[in-house]
Amino acid sequence: MFICGLASGQFIIYNFYTCDSEPYFTNKPHNMRIRGIDWAEDDMGFTTAGADGNVFFFDMQMLRFKGSRLQEKDYNSKSLGANSGFTDVANIPGTSEAIVVGGSSKVCKTSDSKNSCDAKAQI
């Protein structure tokens, strides 16, 4: 499977071999462009980061049967003290967390927003 993020904030998941997409694999979680998508280590979920400053975590089974995301893990850039969106996301292997890069050049773990670091020299 692969994901296409659209400028509208919508994503569509396609079958890699057939290019088919089921209706329940189309979702619009973000209000603005999706800038980063990263699959989970076991390919059973993924994380999206948007220009709207939100990070959302998805479980494939929950998306298929309920049409929703793991809302208790939602994360927003306002916790960084910034109103800008995120530019990318990377899941941390072996955990249920992600590292996000903000438009204000900050890097932080989704569960540890108070300890963000300046990323200008690191990226």
Residue 109 near residue 99 (C-beta atoms within 8 A): yes
What is residue 37's predicted lDDT score, i.e. its pLDDT? Answer: 93
pLDDT tens for the 123 residues of the chain, in order: 888 888 888 899 998 899 898 888 888 889 899 999 999 998 899 999 888 888 899 999 988 888 888 887 877 776 655 556 788 888 888 887 888 777 556 666 666 555 555 555 444
Residue 122: the pLDDT is 44
Task: Return the pLDDT at 52.
Answer: 87
- Which of left, alpha, beta for 34 (phi over 0: left; psi -120 to 50: alpha)? beta
Predicted confidence at residue 7, as pLDDT, reads 81
Query: What is the token pair recorded at 102?
Result: 């903000």
